[in-house]
Structure 1
Amino acid sequence: MNSKDMPPIFVADSPGLDFLNSIATPVDVPVEWIGDGEGLLSWLEQAGLLPASALVVLRESATPAELDDIAGQARNLREWFRGFIDDRKGRPLTADDLSDLKPLNRLLRRDESFVQIVTRDDDGPRQLELQVSRLWRTPESALQPIATALAQLVCEEDFTHIKNCEGHACTLMFVDRTRARARRWCSMAICGNRAKQAAHRHRRRN
């Protein structure tokens, strides 16, 4: 299925896992949302990981070929991190896992982020706040919000709560935040509804 025929799916309750879900089989046919540079920028924008100002800079300063190359790097990063997740989901991370995160730390070291004092958007008692900003000097900087999201997943999420959707052939992943850790589907509107329909047909046959 062409990714242009289907909007990206954000059901993981985690930007890092949403990135892994940027290639998925939500129905029957695999969909790749970052197949090229423009697809990567579009996915980052819809994921809320890339501000509009950065989109303008990257589109004006990078060639399509350069952006396509970065999209390829993003896909490689995605598959490497999927292997990291698959090997560890269902158990808490420990200090022993740090050595396998060297590729992610190398990428994070190239970040050009900084903090600035800015005015708040609301009318609360504090009028100023610190805001994290980032320089977008090179096409590779488009990888930095992804790297940050993956790092936050590693450091802030309990890997025992990461699950695969139980839908037939569905490859989507999510963090189960339900109180009883009973979530089974990527979405009730996608796989949950199909499972209900299949169960209903089975009951009718019997």
Structure 2
Amino acid sequence: MVFESGQVITRRYLRGGRCTWAQPMRVLADDEQGLLLWHPAGSEFARLVDADGRTQHELTVDRMRDPKLTVLTWQDYDLLVLMPPKAAHSVWWFFQAGSFAGWYVNLEEPYVRRPDGVDTDDLVLDIVVTPQRQWEWKDADEFDGRIGHPLYFDQATAAEVRAEGDRLIKLIEAGEFPFDGAYTDFRPDPHWPALRLPADLA
């Protein structure tokens, strides 16, 4: 199935059969380059939070006490997200007050389409990139701590995740697509509203 430009879909992360993250996204394009999505500040998103207010960054899913998908409001940055076909990552463009503020590489499983959105599985390790293409790993300690956990990844998969990150770092340093300035001047339609989650998630 191909999503239509302007359609609002839900981008979800799954872990151990549970939805851990849900984000409504406006489709800008769905073609051979990938699924290009928009999520402005002020929009809803949902993340798994336990009874003590802790998230997956602090605990593995199985150790969270009475976790629930909690609806929150996305703050500060507008997001443009590219999910290339069959890729183990997505690339995010951050915009603040209409100006490009940097990239974010989210390492994740290749996405699977649903009629109303896409599902993937976050692989914990990320890369933060400045507009000048200075980069640093993010959540590396958390990533290392998840290796060998049955709900996360084994050593071999972890090595593949690192290799995918290293491959993207080479693109960053070389200024190759998608880090070549593409979309950095993107401006949304001023009539697009903030996005809301479907009622069955909210």
Which has the greater radius of gyration?
A: 1
TM-score by length of 1: 0.27
Between the two structures, name the one with larger relative contact order (CA 8 Å, sep ≥ 6): 1
Query: Per residue, is there more strand in 1 or in 2?
Result: 2
TM-score by length of 2: 0.27
